[in-house]
Amino acid sequence: RVDAEDAAAAGSNANAAHFVFVPLREQGHLIPAVDTALLLASHGAVCTIVGPPSTAALVRPTVDSAQRSGLQVRLAEFPLDYAASGLPEGADAGDSIPPEHMWSYYRAMALLREPIEIYLRAAHAAPYPTCVVSDFIHPWTTELAANLGVPRLSFFSMCAFGLLCHHNLERFNAWDGVEDPNAPVVVPGLERRFVVTRAQAPGFFRGIPIPCWQEFADYIERARAEADGVIMNTFEEMEPEYVAGYAAARNMKVWTVGPVATYHQTRTTLASTLASRGLRACAVDADECIRWLDGQAPGSVVYVSFGSISRAEPKQVVELGLGLEASGHPFIWVLRNAGDYDEATRAFLGELEARVAGRGLLVRGWAPQLLVLSHDAVGGFVTHCGWNSTLEAVAAGLPVVTWPHFTDQFLNEKLAVEVLGIGVSVGVTEPLTFQAVKKEIVVGREVVEDAVRSVMGAGEEAEERRRRARALAAKARAAAEVGGSSHTNLLDLVKRFQPGAARGAAVSQM
């Protein structure tokens, strides 16, 4: 299916850079990829976002709204071949891809290469693409870009610090001979000393004892090494040595363009528009949320969310709820899977809600996170350290309670706590989600209470943490403003990938 606007716009952009975005469907990848496309389009580029109908459905409201404001952003959707990929029909229709279908989903995505290529060569998709920007988890886009004869940039909504740690751990074979997944190892090749375990940083798709995943991990690594450059949702001033370090380690240009969520914040103050950036219907009315926040003292509210994938187990829900209640601070607590809980847990939540009426707001489903974080009443964020959430906290000038669940979140925690000095950890040291062997790890109510009190409370240490967070937010704003590093990088991308720009120059080192 091709958007009607595509044909209308074709031909009028002969000299524009045309970026083809191939995002991953998971919200933590999709939201920042779409935001990046919107930012590039707002600087004059044409952007086509390609994907299956289930992805397009999530993106469509945002793309429609960008088109209405005059941006050249298109959405092209391609049906998945369920039969050929082995993906059960409709397995991609839910909130996220179930882990047991992940492999066939990636296979189904790879099968889209040919139809996407045919579409992009057609006249109605003009101007001809000048660059493919693909999520690093779509290694098949190497071939897509090669067949189209254009460069390919890897897109990461991750911090350079985490990427460099992963890269060095792999490059220096840090896990060779380390049997115990919880044995501490110093990340090699960095000036500062950071200690991690294999359980915390096994490498992307590494450590899954199934041959197809090991091959996939190698395929991804090859594709990352062969990319013509990298676009990262971070900003240089926050982690200059790691941005430079990653560019040097990969010997490729890195364009830092973050925080990309500023696309929405600089364009609208309308609650409903900001809320819809979450690409989902919110479980709470955005205006009602604002009214509730308006009634709280500045900096008093703690926002609690574990992102779009992680879910707290019932025992953890009880401990977290009681810890928040005992902290005495007003809170907004997002429970993504509230509907799945047993009766006892639902009853606990109902009773808690009654006890904290007026000072505790439970959101059962999707929350307008960006909107909440940018409200003056919010003073701290209990986060699972997903990179987007971490960066959104940074951009909002908020200190964080760090509670990593899986993948890069442990390294993001290190950045927040050890590098930036804006975080207090609840002390989780092993993955809570996607464990090879299911373990029950529950953070106790006292730990939650203490961590919330130290981030939200008075005292010199807390004040110092807040000062650092505010200073970082000012740097984030400056990076996104005209003349700032991220703004300049966006302009550079749009210029370098114009038709006819020298390809060699486009991908040479900084």
Binding residues for ligand UDP (CB under 6 A): 26-28, 31, 278, 305, 307-310, 334, 366-367, 369-370, 386-389, 392
Q: Are 438 and 313 in contact (CB under 8 A)?
A: no
Nearest to 456 by CA among 375, 398, 369: 398
Pick 32 or 127: Cβ nearer ligand UDP = 32
Pick 31 or 247: Cβ nearer ligand UDP = 31
Query: What's the closest the beta carbon of residue 395 comes to ligand UDP, in angstroms?
Result: 11
CA distance linking residue 59 with residue 75, whole number of Å:
8
Query: What's the closest the beta carbon of residue 243 comes to ligand UDP, in angstroms?
Result: 19
Query: What's the closest the beta carbon of residue 374 comes to ligand UDP, in angstroms?
Result: 11
Query: What's the closest the beta carbon of residue 388 comes to ligand UDP, in angstroms?
Result: 3
Encoding tokens for residue 256? 């830092």
Residues in Cβ contact with 491 at an 8 Å cutoff, skipping those fewer than 6 apart = 43
Q: Are 353 and 323 in contact (CB under 8 A)?
A: no
Comparing every residue's Cβ against ligand UDP, the nearest one is 28
Query: What's the closest the beta carbon of residue 281 comes to ligand UDP, in angstroms?
Result: 11
Pick 142 or 310: Cβ nearer ligand UDP = 310
Give ∠ CA 107-109-115 in degrees, rounded to 5.
120
CA distance linking residue 218 with residue 470, whole number of Å:
40
Pick 33 or 87: Cβ nearer ligand UDP = 33
Encoding tokens for residue 293? 């926040």
Single-letter amino acid, residue 385: C
Pick 216 or 303: Cβ nearer ligand UDP = 303
160's enclosing H/E stretch is: helix 160-171
Pick 243 or 391: Cβ nearer ligand UDP = 391
Pick 178 or 441: Cβ nearer ligand UDP = 441
Q: Give SS3 for 306.
A: coil
Query: What's the closest the beta carbon of residue 141 comes to ligand UDP, in angstroms?
Result: 20
Query: What's the closest the beta carbon of residue 96 comes to ligand UDP, in angstroms?
Result: 8
Which residue intervals of 310-408 are DSSP H helices? 314-327, 343-355, 369-373, 387-396
CA distance linking residue 309 with residue 92, whole number of Å:
14
Query: What's the closest the beta carbon of residue 361 comes to ligand UDP, in angstroms?
Result: 13
Pick 27 or 42: Cβ nearer ligand UDP = 27
Query: What's the closest the beta carbon of residue 387 comes to ligand UDP, in angstroms?
Result: 5
Give ∠ CA 182-202-250 in degrees, rounded to 5.
135
Query: What's the closest the beta carbon of residue 507 comes to ligand UDP, in angstroms?
Result: 27
Pick 50 or 363: Cβ nearer ligand UDP = 363
Q: Are 201 and 411 in contact (CB under 8 A)?
A: yes
Longest dimension (CA), the chain: 65
- DSSP string for residues in 46-95: EEEEEE-HHHHHHHHHHHHHHHHTT--EEEEE----HHHHTPPTTTTSSS
Nearest to 387 by CA among 309, 461, 291, 334: 309
Query: What's the closest the beta carbon of residue 329 comes to ligand UDP, in angstroms?
Result: 20
Q: Are 307 and 408 in contact (CB under 8 A)?
A: no
Residues in Cβ contact with 193 at an 8 Å cutoff, skipping those fewer than 6 apart = 186
Pick 76 or 367: Cβ nearer ligand UDP = 367
Pick 370 or 415: Cβ nearer ligand UDP = 370
Nearest to 300 by CA among 175, 424, 406, 452: 452
